[in-house]
Structure 1
Amino acid sequence: MHEVIESREGLKLQVEERERALVGQEDQIRELQYDKGFLEKKLETAAADLSRAKEAALEMKTQYDQLLADFNAQRLQQENKIRELQERLAERELTNRQLMLDLNRNQKEFEFKLREMESRERDKEVKIQHLEQKLRQAQNEIERLTRIISDFASQAISTARLSAASDAE
């Protein structure tokens, strides 16, 4: 009997020990279940963050693609403007060169005409001086002839008075 009691007590101790181990294991299972739930929530949060990050990355890529397209369009537009301005500049340079050629030609023509006019002016001045000299000579000749006529008239009047005075005597 003693052996049975001891064996029962031994079994009881084993059962208690196994119950304690079972309680410890149940506590450990609960802890693991809690950790599992915590990790699952963390995993869900990480998955949601990853999903949001993917969406943000996709949105950023879309914005980047749009910005790149806008940049390329702007660059193309600027290149076209630059090309157009270069063409206009080339046209203006050509026009300016033509205007300079015209200006040089007109300046040479003007200088030639000016020299011609100066030459004609000198010729006219020489003619005027020659005509003035002839005029002075003619005026001198007229004055001389006027004096001669005046002297002749004075002598004729004096002679006529003397003749009239001699006839009257």
Structure 2
Amino acid sequence: MASEVRQASADDLTPGGERRRDFLYVATAAFAGAGVVPVAWSLVNQMNPSADVLALASVDLDLSAVQEGQAIKASWRGKPIFARHLTAAEIADAKKVDVATLRDPQKLEDRTKPGSEQWLITLGVCTHLGCVPLGAAEGESRGDFGGYFCPCHGSHYDTAARIRKGPAPKNLEVPPYTFKSPTSVTIG
């Protein structure tokens, strides 16, 4: 019985000597591979930004109507933007602060554009847990330092939107922006 050797039948061999089973393995793998490509593509593609976000990849703001001491709110990539027209007193207060004493040390000049230091443009998202701070609209609390106040957990920002008190670890983020004219800015 040990000497019995199974002879290949005519059904197992193709004319080229390859086995039909090998063909079935290759065909099955190719079919499965062809099915994996669309599934993988859809999984990767769903991570791309949606059309409404891409539409807001950049936003233009007209700042000509914003008076000194006022701020406006806008939206960029689904997040609030604060654009504040700083007064001379607010600029002076921001420059007087010893940067070494700040949790996230940045000068006002690092947060504004040269020649346009009266315009402070930041994301309106608290760096602690993502709440929207108060202080951009008329009559809202500006906190202990005259900038912004986050009512969720009590973070206080100064006139340069730098964290001064509370649990927020960083200053309000400054988005990428460029001035097209002295009162027209493109964010993004």
By percentage of residues, which structure has more strand?
Answer: 2
Q: Does TM-score exceed 0.5, indicating one fold?
A: no
Greater share of residues in helix = 1
**TM-score category by the smaller chain?**
under 0.3
Q: Determine which structure has more spread, i.e. the larger CA radius of gyration.
A: 1
